Amino acid sequence: MKKIQLILLFLLVMGSSALAQSPQMAEDTVAFKPHGKVFAQVFSNFTYTLTNYKWQPAFEISRAYLGYEYAFSQKFFGKINFDVDNPGVGSLQMTAYLKNAYLRYADKNFRVAFGLIPTYQFRLQEAFWGHRYVLKSFLEQYVFGSSADFGVSLQWQALPKVNLDFSVLNGEGYRHLQADSTLMYTAGVTYHPINWLYARFYFDYMKKIEAQMTYAAFVGYRGKNFTAGFEYNNQQEHGNVPDHDLSGISLYGTLKMKNNSDVFFRYDKLMSKHIGGVLDGWHVIEDGRLYTAGMEYQPVKGVRISPNMSGWYPVHDTHHIVTRFNLNVEFKF
């Protein structure tokens, strides 16, 4: 493990040194004018849930992002972003978290960020899925990792078709910024051999008493009118607990239609390790299959509306099937 830490830290230091020594560091201060902007993004929905022959309707604002970003120069960029979410049904109370607060330096093939930064774990998968306001991508939905964390990251375009990323993170996500001696080390490689094909492999390691390790593999197709992705994910010692292994697959696609609309589908399957020869996995209450399908319409730039439905089929017979009919809305500026 010490070798992994040394390699990752060496790459981060070398990347930063290469940036500092670059002859391109001289800025054209006359041509560039620093600028910034306020941004906001809101997810809301109306859902009819059917389970055990009972209907439950609910209106929700599931998430709101509010923040500001600023370009200090052509190479230095900063961003602060608040995430407001988790409303109680029938309550106006919301909880706000600081999700991003970082400074980023980018120069040609390098990009280094420090602070409360976005993570690379499932960013590509989320882009291919394309409907975050309807459903989180697999790794975030089933808590394999967080979309932001405190730390430092390096992205390096090593070859024209190969992109590498490394990071050293707090490991707790942006909601739990504990100051302890445990860190998470991540590494990923993205391969883009031809215009329509993407492939990615990702690994992370974090050890407390037990070592939690995550492996994620992804293949994506992006055509003119159709986008599809397939991912396999495995996390050993989930939550740093012995034998608490999780794995799963996610398959999704989007077909563009006329008049700024599209149709989409997704299939998830979550599985957990069977411990001691028992018939069910340790995570049986949450194990199962999820089917999602719907359509999306964009009446104007910055607004998306999606009527869709989903069905959750638990592994264990004693748990009920959950069917949801949703109307999801996103607006941003």
The C-alpha angle with vertex 268 and arms to 168 and 284, in degrees rounded to 5, equals: 85
How many Å apart are CA 110 and CA 105, to the nearest integer? Answer: 8
pLDDT at 88: 54
Identify the H or E element spanning 57: strand 54-71
pLDDT at 85: 83
**Domains parsed from the chain with CATH numbers:** 107-327 (2.40.160.10)
Q: In 3-state terms, the chain is what percent helix, strand and coil (to 5)?
A: 10, 55, 30
HSE-up of residue 13 (Cα within 13 Å, Cβ side): 6
pLDDT, tens digit only, all 333 positions of the chain: 444 444 444 444 444 444 444 444 444 446 899 999 999 999 999 999 999 889 999 999 989 999 999 999 999 999 999 999 865 544 556 788 999 999 999 998 999 999 999 999 999 999 999 999 999 999 999 999 999 999 999 999 999 999 999 999 999 888 876 666 789 999 999 999 999 999 999 999 999 889 999 999 999 999 999 999 999 999 999 999 999 999 999 999 999 999 999 999 999 999 999 998 788 899 999 999 999 999 999 999 999 999 999 999 999 877 899 999 999 999 999
Q: What is the pLDDT of residues 221-264, one digit of tens each?
A: 999 999 999 999 999 999 999 999 999 999 999 999 999 999 99
Distance separating the N- and C-terminal Cα atoms of the chain: 44
Q: What is the pLDDT of residues 258-290, one digit of tens each?
A: 999 999 999 999 999 999 878 889 999 999 999
pLDDT at 94: 75
How many Å apart are CA 238 and CA 325, to the nearest integer? Answer: 31
Which residues is 50 bridged to in the sheet? 55, 323
This model's pTM is above 0.85:
yes
Joined together, the tokens standing for residue 201 give 């492999």
How many Å apart are CA 136 and CA 270, to the nearest integer? Answer: 14
Least Cα distance to 207 among 242, 164, 248 occurs for 242
- Three-state SS string over 133-187 comes to CCCCCHHHHCCCCCCEEEEEEEEEEEECCEEEEEEEECCCCCCCCCCCCCCEEEE
